[in-house]
Amino acid sequence: MNLSVEPADAEKLRKWVEGLSEGTVCVAMHRNADPDALASALGIKEILQSLSHKKKNILILTSEGLEQVSKKLLEVLAPQTEVINDNPGECDATVIVDTSTPQQLNRLSSLLSKPYVVIDHHEVNDLIEEADVSIHRPTAASTSELVAELIMYLKVRPDPRVLTFLIAGILYDTRILRLASPETFAVMAWLTENGGDYRKAINILTLREVSRSEVIARLKGLSRTGLYRLNKEAILAVTCIGAHESAVLKALIEAGADIAIAVAKRPNATRITIRVSQSFLKKFGSEPIASNLALHFAKELGGSGGGHAGAAGALINSHVSPKQILKIIARFFTRKGYSLGILEEGRWMEECE
């Protein structure tokens, strides 16, 4: 069975863990951690506990808390697990999962001054150059998949609930296996054969209650949306919303948009979230459109950006006017042979001014 992780990667991680002295090892995730990040962190904690011959305290950290779906998974599968929403200042070494830039770590970026490992599947990763060990595989469908492979190679016997978490992480990042590869299915089979509960994982993900705040965000986001055409081939939807961006963009893509972008104003910053439909991605072959657009925003405006072919984001270190955002989008697609035309400007510009 061909896997994304190689045996040598697992051995590097083993030696790194075994070489650590007594102390606290932290497992860090990106801000507003999604199920893939949380599942990866829990899987790494199991690996650390299994490989540590010296007494070590292991903490799971995030910044800006957990996504709602992550909270639900934690509540059902591991209610006793503590996730610390800050840097406790006692980490002697860190394993960073599902995170590609220091900005995604936010307040946890100070952890980069100590020894650290990176395990990630984003298209581009700015953390791997200084890492003691890096397992960066952009071809993997999720970071949970990479962590599951490490567990397989290292012959760790985790709690079955952690295997269920990893199934949920894979399901979440592959959109319920729509983006799965043959390797993904092989890993899923191993997880279920060894105690992971596929049915429970998918039930939590698909039968979750939608909060009133998410419903309101969806409706606001849709009502504010501006519609643009790229030549006569594609529809671009842009909206302004400050919460539940993923849910709003999912609704726009399901409604027929080829590209959906959400702009969120923050104090002295602008957050841009991007989704691209599978049909539009096929026009570009292997080019990661969403990730490249996010990096383009970061380069033009100052900040950080990255992600995957169909889902990405950028954090700009200043307030950016909507007109400037639209100009940058137009320049990006002009280079790819598309001209931007207005179908309906909507109210997103006045809301994000």
Three-class secondary structure assignment of 114-125:
CCEEEEECCCCC
Query: Alpha-carbon Rg of the chain, whole angstroms?
Result: 20
Tens digits of residue pLDDT in 97-129: 999 999 899 889 999 999 999 999 999 999 999
* Measured torsion, CA atoms of residues 278, 284, 287, 291, in degrees rounded to the nearest 10: -50
Q: What is the rounded average pLDDT of the residues 165-185?
A: 95
Residue type, 156: V
Backbone angles phi, psi at 310, to 5 degrees: -105, -5
Q: Residue ranges of the alpha helices (H) in the chain?
A: 7-18, 35-51, 68-77, 102-105, 143-154, 160-173, 182-193, 198-206, 212-224, 245-254, 278-281, 289-301, 322-334, 348-352
**Hey, what domains does the chain have and what are their CATH numbers?**
7-206 (3.90.1640.10), 215-352 (3.10.310.40)
Query: What's the confidence (pLDDT) of residue 22?
Result: 84
**Given a cut of 70, is residue 1 above it in pLDDT?**
no
Distances (CA, A) of 160 to 44, 167, 307: 14, 11, 30
Phi/psi region, residue 116 (left: phi>0; alpha: psi -120 to 50; beta: rest), is beta
Tens digits of residue pLDDT in 4-62: 999 999 999 999 999 998 889 999 999 889 999 999 999 999 999 999 876 789 999 99
Collapsing DSSP to helix, strand or coil, 97 comes out as strand
The pTM of this model reads: 0.83
Structure tokens given for 22: 């007594």
Q: Please state, as a whole number, how many other Cβ atoms lie within 10 Å of the Cβ of residue 9.
A: 21
Tens digits of residue pLDDT in 193-226: 999 999 999 999 988 778 899 999 999 999 999 9
The full DSSP string for 273-338 is EEEE-HHHHGGGTT--HHHHHHHHHHHHHSEEEEE-SSEEEEEESS---HHHHHHHHHHHHHTTT-
Tens digits of residue pLDDT in 291-303: 999 999 999 999 9
